[in-house]
Structure 1
Amino acid sequence: MRVGERELVARVTASDPPVVIVDGVAHEVTAIAGGRSHVRVQGETAQRIVNLDGQGLPTSAAIGGVAVALDVRTAQAAARDAALAAGRTGGAGGGLVKAPMPGRVVRVLVSAGQSVERGTPLVIVEAMKMENELLATTAGVVKAVHVGEGVAVDAGQALVELDPS
């Protein structure tokens, strides 16, 4: 999540009450009426009331009457957003097309030795129930295909290597 200029990593446990670990510090959270929560650092007695805006993933919070904008995303959404920010090229650098996020290869659309133009679809990766068509960033010849259909891939994994023309 991003709070102002600070980027924080938070994990929520399934305990009762839930514990939210923010940058290594455990906080117990107890929901109260009106979309508010009591939050206290585990092991301490002082607590704060946090008002969230009632969204599925809140976009703002108020602590002690001071409102703060929040950008809260799941790890998967953050990976997707980073991939989209890099364009639909699958994180390509030079002639290497990489998986933008963890997923499964649905289709391989090219083979080694094949000539491609810039923008040619190379591979379709399914992630979070969405199909992502990864495109050639440059014209060239497919030097190698590193994956096959049905294969699970990690973010940043090499999928197709191009020899630019």
Structure 2
Amino acid sequence: HQNVVDPSKSHNRTNDRMNPSSRSSKLNIKFPKKFHPARQKAIKALKIKNYDEAIIYLTELLDKYPDSYSIRCDRGEAYMNIKEYERAKRDLDLAVQKKPKKERGLYLRGIVHDKLNNPRESISDLCKAIKIKPNDPSTLDALKICAKHYKELGNFDDAIKHLELVLKLEENN
């Protein structure tokens, strides 16, 4: 049995490396996401509340880092700020699924549920977030939203408890 080389199937690695259009010659450098140029642009856009532009850069980043919790939360928050609540919810569902014990995704998704008029889901997410990080700056607003929904659902005892916590927090600030 002889080794016969089929010239149509031979692969010349030297030529492959020299060919700029060759797939293996392309540099595929993966930046840490915090140093990625699109991340820097997204942060700048978020700071000046240019949410549409931020979403473009965050979407580019998600192509490279599809499992990133922080980028999902950032884009979910940007969608929320332009009232694209269903899109925000999709991103935040993925973020919370990825890291269910982190408060940011829960706080944001709880607010989105509030905007979508899903009181039970809003209460659930916001209460989980408060338990995880009770000193978060979002706690006061979260408690107010929970109290509002408890009242709407006819659960006045829990509404009062949440409003009492609001008063305590406001008193301390």
TM-score calculated relative to the size of structure 1 = 0.27
Judging by fraction of residues, say which structure has more helix. Answer: 2
- The structure showing larger relative contact order (alpha-carbon pairs under 8 Å, at least 6 residues apart) is 1
Larger strand proportion of the pair: 1
Q: Which has the larger radius of gyration?
A: 2
TM-score, normalised relative to structure 2: 0.26
